[in-house]
Amino acid sequence: MTDRRFDPRRWLMLIVEPLDPALLLLLSLLLSYAFMLMVSASPERMESQMINSAVAVTVMWVAARMPAQRILALALPVYVVGVLLLVAVALFGEISKGAQRWLDLGVARIQPSELMKIAAPLMLAWYFQQREGMIRAREFIVAGGLLLLPVGLIVKQPDLGTALLVAAAGFYVLFFAGLSWKLILPIAAVAIVGIGSIVGFGDRICQPDVDWVVLHGYQKNRVCTLLDPTQDPLGKGFHIIQSTIAIGSGGVFGKGWQAGTQTHLSFIPERHTDFIFAVLGEEFGLTGAVVLLVLYLLLILRGCVIAAQAPTLATRLLAGAITMIFFTYAFVNMGMVSGILPVVGVPLPFISYGGTALVTLCLGLGILMSINRSYLMSK
């Protein structure tokens, strides 16, 4: 007869086996950091954030348990559903603060653009795997079209921050697939000239009567505020000024946990979400910021190792893109809070309050674990 007795070691192995120890350790440290900051920045949201974290870790575990090829097989349906949901947002989405980004499904209120941060690179990695050995200019054109479709729909909402993250995720797949430098360098040159022109002629082009044809008015204001936040210190420039004051006042070692004056006197706006890095800088100083940077660096290095060892073209492209998504999140958030990038509403990965972004990021970690598991099984 089969022994049906409960074996705790066997069940523990079933739970732990698909998880990568290094990624799991780094996630645990990042979430611990997040909880500590949340207690200081917004203690009333701690219970909600712990629930968000539990859901996100569960999603990560489910993804880690799935074979990598099965995840890739879901690329096309997930991409199609994501695009259809974005179209539904454009037609029936809820409008909040001048943006139409949310879709009410009755049982839940979702932001479909978050799904595309994973769905877009997943789709492109699957597409290039189907064309492996035949990747030429035409394949990159098709892949570019597949990427621009959801990006355009997200820009239309408007949600420039999420659109840039989705575009970056897709671009990483194109780059790792072998996109020619002959195409990348002209785009980079145009971007450098454009940024230089904005900085050089900022006083002239930021005048109220100058219309930036390609950007909405609030997006123009964000760029102009970045150039000189003191023009409207109590209005558009308030976010940047207060966050930079908080970071600067923290010094090397910070003012101490729960001792930040800018934080607890409510000068830092959105201190539990987009600007939580300012809370970190004020209370833990340069030392706390360096610790966080080291954790992110180790996370990215581990992702790069998994990408390099991935057994197929698609898994290499997907793992590389997901790893670089973590870098992009961190770079953009820290840049905007420090006053070197415009405020675009990008959360600090694994640290900021919120469920959707955290679930998306943990899903990415789960996919990395699945890819690493497929490598170990192929040895």
| CB contact set of 237 (below 8 Å; sequence gap of 6+) | 225, 228, 229, 230, 231
CA distance 269 to 243: 8
Q: Which residue did the predictor score with more confidence, 201 or 67?
A: 67
Q: What pLDDT, on a 0 to 100 scale, did the predictor assign at position 171? A: 93
Half-sphere exposure of 264 (CA within 13 A, CB side): 13
If we measure between CA atoms, which residue out of 253, 236, 261 comes closest to residue 343?
236
Q: What pLDDT, on a 0 to 100 scale, did the predictor assign at position 64? A: 93
CA distance 198 to 223: 9
Amino acid at 131: R
Q: How far is CA 86 from CA 101, 104, 109, 143, in A?
A: 8, 12, 13, 19
CA distance 118 to 75: 9
Beta-strand relationship, 94-96 and 109-110: unpaired
Tell me if 260 sits within 8 A of 279, measured CB to CB: yes
pLDDT of 228 higher than 50:
yes
CA distance 288 to 253: 7
If we measure between CA atoms, which residue out of 343, 319, 321 comes closest to residue 332?
343
Instruction: Provide φ and ψ at 337, rounded to 5°.
Output: -70, -30
Mean local confidence (pLDDT), 235-261: 84
If we measure between CA atoms, which residue out of 239, 214, 207 comes closest to residue 226?
239
- 46-65 helix and 21-41 helix, angle to the nearest 10 degrees: 170
3-state SS track over 106-142: CCCEECHHHHHHHHHHHHHHHHHHHCCCCCCHHHHHH
Least confident of 63-77, 183-197, 356-370: 183-197
Q: What pLDDT, on a 0 to 100 scale, did the predictor assign at position 1? A: 43
CA distance 257 to 246: 13
If we measure between CA atoms, which residue out of 169, 58, 175, 162 comes closest to residue 119?
169
Tell me if 225 sits within 8 A of 236, measured CB to CB: yes
CA distance 72 to 325: 18
pLDDT of 229 higher than 90:
no
DSSP letter for each residue of 203-252: HHHTSTT---TTS-HHHHHHHHHHH-GGGSTTTTTHHHHHHHHHHHHTTT
Helices and strands: H and E segment counts in the chain: 16, 3
CA distance 29 to 369: 17
3-state secondary structure (DSSP) of residue 101: strand
Q: What is the DSSP letter of 258?
A: T
Least confident of 94-108, 115-129, 160-174: 94-108
pLDDT of 139 higher than 70:
yes
Domain map (residue ranges) of the chain = 23-34+43-56+237-349
Buried b (16+ CB within 10 A) or exposed e, 301-321: ebbebbbebbbbbbbbbbbbb
**Burial (Cβ within 10 Å: 0-12, 13-18, ≥19) of residue 200:** exposed
CA distance 152 to 80: 15
Q: How far is CA 219 from CA 23, 100, 204, 293, 324, in A?
A: 36, 16, 17, 28, 25
pTM greater than 0.85 (yes/no) = yes
* Percentage with pLDDT > 70 across the chain: 86
Q: What pLDDT, on a 0 to 100 scale, did the predictor assign at position 160? A: 79
pLDDT of 317 higher than 90:
yes
pLDDT of 3 higher than 70:
no
Question: Cβ of 283: how many Cβ atoms within 10 Å?
Answer: 25
